[in-house]
Each structure stands twice: as structure tokens, then as C-alpha cells.
Amino acid sequence: MTRVALAFSGGLDTTVCVPLLEEEYGYDDVIGVTVDVGQPAEEFDEAEETAEALGLEHYVVDAREEFAQLCLESVRANATYQGYPLGTALARPVIAEAILEVAEEHDCDALAHGCTGKGNDQLRFEAVWRDTDLDVYAPVRELGLTREWEQEYAAEKDLPVEGGSGGDWSIDTNIWSRSIEGDDLEDPSYVPPTDIYEWTDEPTGETEEIEIAFENGYPVAVDVLGSEAPASQSEADASDDGKEMDPVSLVEHLNEVAGAHGVGRTDTMEDRMLGLKVRENYEHPAATTLLNAHEALEGLVLTQEERQFKQQIDNQWSQKAYEGLIDAPLVDALEGFIDETQKRVTGTVTIRFEGGQARPVARDSEYAAYSAAHASFDTETVGKIKQEDATGVAKYHGFQRRLANKAIEKIDGDETVELATDGGNDADEE
Ligand code: ARG
């Protein structure tokens, strides 16, 4: 008896995969696995109903906590790829691992997904699955299926496929981002209608402030300060303590609050792993808010050279996350650096939602690498440091470039002379 575990969503692609795995690949038994990384309830209903209609043995695995934790790790790495906070990318290894576990529990000899041969997700799933001895299949890619063919095949076989919850768009949702692509959006010059967005409202003129507390770079609490700026920080502190929240609730809460202000929309031309460029639209209110707040706190506590070097670390982390290779040894090494820097990323940041932006307007930490007394225009001497001490630095600043520019002048001068002597350039000669 042969059995294959299929990553199953109940959409057209994965639905046609069920009979195809039996007919074309000769499997006796197919089981479907849906992994919960925070998709909307309708998607589970759709998967449940379709599985039932197909007579498919179906399992749902809740991976929300693990996924939310990974999202918060990505905040510590200020992780984005071409402006996109990596929701789909971060979710895929988590989903792939969860499906693998179910497959092993149920003695499957193979794994399958419904990804096409054009996107990133096939690579992310298979990076995890090909670490095992199980066979891996991608029917849509391997049989060269098109959506049109799938629709005809589904009709012919009387498969339970509906229009899909996203209408014309191809949607991928989890707690970190909602991605919208396909159909008219494939034309980069097409302006998306606002109804493609579900998490973000059109920005209104209203503002609101919240305070986010971080511990070691992890956001741990959110405190809504209200729609008007509090008269003083101490008043705000006294009025309401930041509510400690688990990662899932914290992200869901911020998606609501920031989404209502239209925060976190991205419309981008994304360079995929295969080299294709694709037009992508994303919504990610919580991610944008947390990333902005985290970076603001790093700005207060990290030294200039740490911040500069960390950009390279963060870029590498984001690249590996985009590739679905978050378990690469390089990532562990990068996280060594990240852990070290995040020891001081503890404190609070006030974010103001305004005109679709989540703008940091205040930050506070007991580990600030900042001295108000030294930086202030109002103090002349602090400890042993006096304003006039900067004079020496000012004399040396740019010293090498001063000499180098003189050398360049000399060369340019010589060239002019040469040109003048052998070129008969008489314009400015006396
Ligand atoms: N391009 C994005 C990524 O590779 C997201 C793709 C999401 N898929 C979708 N059907 N909308 O991470």
C-alpha cells in the first residue's frame, strides 16, 4: 500500500492533485494536510468541505505559535525583501515541517505540493522535504498544468471546486502578511482597485498612538495610548500598563489596530528566485509597525558601527528567509550576532499612526547609547569634555581627501598644459 501526503488548501491546484496522484502517479492513498499559520476561517472551511466531498482523509495542524515566534525573530533581523516582510516565505518551512511530521506519523512514502513551476514556494517546500528519503512530487509543475486545463479536468471529474475565496486574485494569507497577485495585477501599469485590500482601510485623517515594549529585541506588549497625544509620557505610563501578549495575539492585535489606519501596503516588482520579476501586492500592518518600532529602538541603543554592520547581517538573514533556507548554518551564525546586539534592545517605542504610516515618535531605554547632556546645545562642558575639544578633530577631518584632491588638481593641471602645448587650444591663451 503506497501513501502520499499532499499539502492541501482546497483550492483548484491542490484539489486536482488528489485524483492525479492516484491516476498519474499510481498512489493507493492520498492524505491531505492543511497547516494553520493564521489563514482566515473560510479557508479552513473550504479545505474541510472540499476534502469531505473528495473523500480525502484530511488533517489540520495548528502551527500558529511556532510561526508567530519566527515572525518575531524576523523583527530582530529587521527582515524585509524588496520592501516585503516575508510572510509567505517565513511560513513555508513551518508548513513543510508540519506536513512532514504528519506524513511520518501516517507511514507515507511520498510528499506532494500543488505549487507551479514559476514561483518560490516549490523551492521552499522542497528544500525541507528533499532532506528526507521520501519521494517528492509537484504534479502541477511536472505535468505542465495550466489553470484552464485544471478547470476543465475538475468539471470533467466533477471535482468540488468553487471560484475560490479570493475571486480573481491569487491570495496567500497568514498572520504576518496577505499577498495578492495574478489576473489584472500581472500588468505592472494596472492600478489595483482598493477592494483587493482586506486588512487595511483607506487612511483617514485620524491619528492614534500606541506604545510597544521590547525585551531583547522581541516585542512583548502593546499599549494603546489613545487618539490624542498624551500630555506627558508619565501620564501615559500611569494611565495604563502595557499589556503583555503572546506572539500570536500581539501580531493579530496590531494587524487590527494598524490596519484600521491603512498601515502596511506594498506594491512591488519582486525579483523571484528563478529570476522572474513578478508584480506583488501585500498587506502587513503588524509587520510594518513592529519593524519600524524595532528599528527606532535599535537607533537609540546600538552604536553607529553596530547599526551599520547589522544592516549586512539583516540583509543576509532576509535573503535566506526569502529562499526558505532559514535552517542554513549561516542563519545560526547571523543570529549569534543578532542575539549579542539584541541584549540591549529593551525599552519602549511610541508609534503614531498617521496618513497610512506607522511613525516612531518616541523611544526610551535604560540601555541607550545616548547622552542628552553631551548632545545638547545647552551644555558647554560635560565631565572633562568641552565644546572646544572638537576643534582638533575638525582640523583633521577629511585630511587624506584634502591631500588627494591636491594631487588630482596637479594631474589635471598637467593635462591642461599638455593639451595646450600640443593641441593648439588657443581659446584662453594670452
Ligand atoms: N511572492 C511572494 C513570495 O515568494 C508571495 C507569493 C504568494 N502567493 C500567492 N499566491 N499570492 O514570498
pLDDT confidence of 24, banded at 50, 70, 90? very high
* Average pLDDT of the chain, as a whole number: 92
pLDDT digits 0-9 by tens, 105-159: 999 999 999 999 999 999 999 999 999 999 999 999 999 999 999 999 999 999 9
Q: In angstroms, rounded to a whole number, what is the distance separating the alpha carbons of residues 186 and 118?
A: 14
Cβ-contact 242, 213 below 8 angstroms: yes
Secondary structure string (H, E, C) spanning the chain: CCEEEEECCCCHHHHHHHHHHHHCCCCCEEEEEEEECCCCHHHHHHHHHHHHHHCCEEEEEECHHHHHHHHHHHHHCCCCECCECCHHHHHHHHHHHHHHHHHHHCCCCEEECCCCCCCCHHHHHHHHHCCCCCEEECHHHHCCCCHHHHHHHHHHHCCCCCCCCCCCCEEEECCCCEEEECHHHHCCCCCCCHHHCCCCCCCCCCCEEEEEEEECCEEEEEEEEECCCCCCHHHHHHHCCCEECCHHHHHHHHHHHHHCCCCCEEEEEEECCCCCEEEEEEECHHHHHHHHHHHHHHHHHCCHHHHHHHHHHHHHHHHHHHCCCCCCHHHHHHHHHHHHHHCCCCEEEEEEEECCEEEEEEEECCCCCCCHHHHCCCCCEECCEEHHHHHHHHHHCCHHHHHHHHHHHHHHHHHHHHHHHHHCCCCCCC
Q: Are residues 9 and 155 in the same domain?
A: yes
Lowest mean pLDDT among 157-171, 227-241, 336-350: 227-241
Determine the pLDDT at residue 241. 54
**Considering the domain boundaries, does residue 371 fall inside one?**
no
pLDDT confidence of 234, banded at 50, 70, 90? very low
230 vs 34, more confident: 34
Determine the pLDDT at residue 137. 98
**Considering the domain boundaries, does residue 317 fall inside one?**
no
Q: Are residues 229 and 157 in the same domain?
A: no
Q: In angstroms, rounded to a whole number, what is the distance separating the alpha carbons of residues 105 and 113?
A: 18
**Considering the domain boundaries, does residue 8 fall inside one?**
yes
Query: What is the percent of the chain where pLDDT is above 90?
Result: 84
Nearest to 116 by CA among 239, 234, 12: 12
Counting Cα atoms < 13 Å in the Cβ hemisphere of 332 gives 3
Report how far Cα 231 is from the mean position of its chain's Cα atoms: 35
CATH assignment at residue 188 = 3.90.1260.10
Q: Are residues 207 and 155 in the same domain?
A: no
Determine the pLDDT at residue 210. 97
Q: Are residues 112 and 20 in the same domain?
A: yes
Q: Are residues 183 and 98 in the same domain?
A: no
Active site residue 121: yes
Given 310, 333, 364, which residue is the final one in a domain? 364
| Ligand 1 atom index nearest CA of 89 | 12
Nearest to 365 by CA among 208, 210, 217, 209: 217
pLDDT digits 0-9 by tens, 80-112: 999 999 999 999 999 999 999 999 999 999 999
Give, for ligand 1, the residue of 12, 86, 120 to mutate: max count of ligand atoms closer than 8 Å to Cβ: 120
227 vs 340, more confident: 340
Determine the pLDDT at residue 65. 98
Nearest to 88 by CA among 19, 161, 176, 208: 176
pLDDT confidence of 340, banded at 50, 70, 90? very high
pLDDT confidence of 168, banded at 50, 70, 90? confident
Which CA distances in Å does 32 have to 8, 19, 38, 47, 306?
Answer: 5, 12, 18, 9, 46
195 has binding-site annotation: no
Q: Are residues 80 and 196 in the same domain?
A: no
Domain extent, residue 400, equals 384-428
Secondary structure string (H, E, C) spanning 230-269: CCCHHHHHHHCCCEECCHHHHHHHHHHHHHCCCCCEEEEE
Active site residue 131: no
**Considering the domain boundaries, does residue 111 fall inside one?**
yes
Q: Average pLDDT for residues 247-256, to the nearest whole number?
A: 98
Q: In angstroms, rounded to a whole number, what is the distance separating the alpha carbons of residues 12 and 14?
A: 6
**Considering the domain boundaries, does residue 205 fall inside one?**
yes
Residues flanking ligand 1, CB < 6 Å: 88-89, 120, 170-172, 179, 181, 270, 280
CA of 171 to the centre of ligand 1 (A): 8
Given 166, 197, 219, which residue is the final one in a domain? 166
At residue 414, does pLDDT exceed 90? no
Q: Are residues 72 and 195 in the same domain?
A: no
**Considering the domain boundaries, does residue 319 fall inside one?**
no
Determine the pLDDT at residue 286. 98
Domain count, the chain: 3
Q: Are residues 145 and 28 in the same domain?
A: yes
pTM comes to 0.91
Determine the pLDDT at residue 422. 55
Q: In angstroms, rounded to a whole number, what is the distance separating the alpha carbons of residues 389 and 381?
A: 10
15 has binding-site annotation: yes
pLDDT digits 0-9 by tens, 179-193: 999 999 999 999 999
Q: Are residues 117 and 20 in the same domain?
A: yes
Burial of 146 (0-12, 13-18, 19+ CB in 10 A): exposed
**Considering the domain boundaries, does residue 332 fall inside one?**
no
**Considering the domain boundaries, does residue 210 fall inside one?**
yes
Given 145, 166, 187, which residue is the final one in a domain? 166
C-alpha cell at 141: 509543475
CA of 178 to the centre of ligand 1 (A): 9
Determine the pLDDT at residue 239. 44
pLDDT confidence of 419, banded at 50, 70, 90? low
CATH assignment at residue 33 = 3.40.50.620
| Adjacency order of strands within the sheet including 265-271 | 170-173, 178-181, 277-283, 265-271
Q: Are residues 146 and 235 in the same domain?
A: no
| Ligand 1 atom index nearest CA of 81 | 12
Q: Are residues 137 and 247 in the same domain?
A: no
pLDDT digits 0-9 by tens, 369-391: 999 888 887 877 888 889 999 99
Q: Are residues 152 and 194 in the same domain?
A: no
Active site residue 92: yes
pLDDT confidence of 228, banded at 50, 70, 90? low
At residue 351, does pLDDT exceed 50? yes
116 has binding-site annotation: yes
Active site residue 249: no
Q: In angstroms, rounded to a whole number, what is the distance separating the alpha carbons of residues 63 and 72?
A: 14
